[in-house]
Structure 1
């Protein structure tokens, strides 16, 4: 059974991580979340659940307006051949959420199998405060950059911080 929002909040507490959460109408795309950017301080994000030719899974997390070249990203993240989006069934099986609710917080559902490699864009990681869905797209949870890393490590993952967006690459990050 995938973790619930309450389970996630308890896990944050167990790690000593302080977060704030704002409830709102469900948003399914980055475009739909535009109004929230003015209401909630910090970097707003998008999350890509990707699979390479050998079946390796990646969760790429970047700023909401980042430009990511899906034809080349495999070279940056260590994928075998080009990547494609993981389908909804695989997403639910591995990370316990439906499309539109993908977030790095889904790593809570991959604590045992470690099937997913988290990749955090270097440009995003320049923000002190970041925003993600708390396992469902009807709320936004704000967390510090350092606590995001502590959360991922608490789930047994060592996230790769890489310049995967064109913005990060052009800034030399």
Structure 2
């Protein structure tokens, strides 16, 4: 297995890809709810990032949801032809995305060169706002444009599938 990318290498990659970001530093935060509880403000739209697996554990999904939504796992499963989805274990998170619990982010797809993780993108995510994602650690948030998210996913060769979450 190749070495996993770290935060500094990711930030260098964002610069290389000409992806501008606004950085928000903060204490370790593992969820959108913790952002609000600590009074942290992001420039525009926060995103919930969920790492899921199918019933058999043979397929893995990174789901990006509008921050205001609750995850409807049965509804998402139905849209993608799965019988059931559940949260993947911390061990799978480390193996597939190379990050720890609380650090789930689309930026971690740089650690999935085998393309074992499929990306599901909530169609309610606003395309005209900055979107906030952890830079492989949960002590900062990098806010990027929707178009830059798509460019990053193209760089990692992860074609997102739009879902209605």
Q: Given the two structures, how large is their TM-score scaled by the length of structure 1?
A: 0.87
- Residues of 2 paired with 1:151 and 1:36: CA distance? 25
What is the aligned partner in structure 2 of residue 67 from structure 1? 70
Q: Displacement of 1:53 after TM fit? A: 2.2
Q: 1:78-101 CA deviation, whole Å, 9 max, x = no partner?
A: 243101111000000010111111
What is the aligned partner in structure 1 of residue 46 from structure 2? 44
Q: Is the 8 A contact 2:105 2:133 kept in 1?
A: yes
- Residues of 1 paired with 2:102 and 2:147: CA distance? 25
5+ residue gaps in structure 2? none
Match of 2:104, SS state, is: coil
5+ residue gaps in structure 1? 165-173
- Residues of 2 paired with 1:149 and 1:161: CA distance? 12
Q: 1:101-148 CA deviation, whole Å, 9 max, x = no partner?
A: 1011111111x2100001110111444211111111100101000000
- Residues of 2 paired with 1:19 and 1:136: CA distance? 15
What is the aligned partner in structure 2 of residue 88 from structure 1? 90
How many residues align? The count is 160
Q: Is the 8 A contact 2:76 2:164 kept in 1?
A: no
- Residues of 2 paired with 1:95 and 1:145: CA distance? 21
1:113 lines up with 2:121 in the alignment: no
**In proportion to residue count, which structure has more helix?**
1
Q: Displacement of 1:64 after TM fit? A: 1.7
What is the aligned partner in structure 2 of residue 168 from structure 1? none
What is the aligned partner in structure 1 of residue 12 from structure 2? 10
Aligned Cα RMSD in Å? 1.3
Q: Is the 8 A contact 1:42 1:127 kept in 2?
A: no
- Residues of 2 paired with 1:93 and 1:125: CA distance? 30
- Residues of 2 paired with 1:71 and 1:58: CA distance? 14
Match of 1:33, SS state, is: helix
Q: Is the 8 A contact 1:62 1:120 kept in 2?
A: yes
Superposed counterparts of 1:1-173, under 5 Å: 1-34=3-36, 35-37=39-41, 40-54=42-56, 55-76=58-79, 78-110=80-112, 112-164=113-165
